[in-house]
């Protein structure tokens, strides 16, 4: 699951996020090319975006204001990550808090059209309910996650969801 989330995050141009037992890390080979690229960019931009003196004052280039979509995306990712961190704690209370955070992220991902993240979030909620022993609730969320994974062509997500559905049916004593 960690690799799938990592691919998903990178497909959106983000950095790694801590989730379901894997840790954020940056190795030296990862940092050096990025540092060099940032350094070169700063040098090239320093002349084109710098403050330029004028007769009556100084003009400073400003970054464009963040859009509503940027704010929605940031809030969704923040809630998603916080849910993952709470899930990792593993207590009944933290699992319920993780569900709340993921429920907060769901409509935001839906508004952004991020079906991949919506599917993974539903899968996480289902897993938390399963860990709490609320198997029917888990099954409901898994069944909501499955068509989204299928719609985006996420075969690994589809397989994980089907496997989790099978485990719930097994725990409920229903052999299908």
SS (HEC) of 30-84: HHHHHHHHHHHHHHHHHHHCCCEECCCCEECCCCCCCCHHHHHHHHHHHHHHHHH
Q: Encoding tokens for residue 41?
A: 């960019």
The domain ranges of the chain are 69-171
**In degrees rounded to 5, what are phi and psi of residue 53?**
-70, 145
Among 158, 162, 168, CA closest to 136: 168
Per-residue pLDDT of the chain (176 residues; tens, 9 = 90+): 555 566 666 666 555 454 443 333 233 344 334 444 544 444 444 444 444 555 555 566 666 657 899 999 999 999 999 999 999 999 999 999 999 999 999 999 999 999 999 999 999 999 999 999 999 999 999 999 999 999 999 999 999 999 999 999 999 888 76
CATH 3.20.20.70 fits 69-171, yes or no: no
């Amino acid at each position: 699951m960690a690799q799938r989330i990592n691919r998903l995050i990178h497909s959106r141009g983000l950095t790694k996020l801590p989730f379901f037992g894997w840790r954020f890390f940056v190795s030296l080979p990862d940092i050096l090319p990025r540092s060099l690229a940032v350094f070169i960019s700063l040098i090239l931009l320093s002349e084109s975006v710098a403050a330029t003196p004028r007769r009556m004052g100084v003009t400073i280039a400003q970054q464009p204001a963040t859009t509503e979509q940027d704010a929605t995306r940031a809030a969704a990712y923040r809630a998603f990550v916080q849910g993952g961190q709470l899930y990792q704690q593993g207590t009944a209370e933290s699992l319920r808090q993780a569900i709340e955070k993921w429920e907060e992220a769901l409509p935001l991902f839906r508004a952004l059209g991020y079906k991949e993240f919506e599917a993974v979030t539903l899968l996480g909620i289902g897993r938390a309910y399963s860990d709490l022993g609320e198997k029917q609730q888990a099954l409901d969320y898994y069944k909501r996650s499955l068509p989204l994974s299928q719609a985006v062509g996420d075969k690994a997500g589809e397989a994980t969801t089907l496997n989790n559905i099978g485990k719930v049916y097994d725990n409920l004593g229903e052999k299908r």
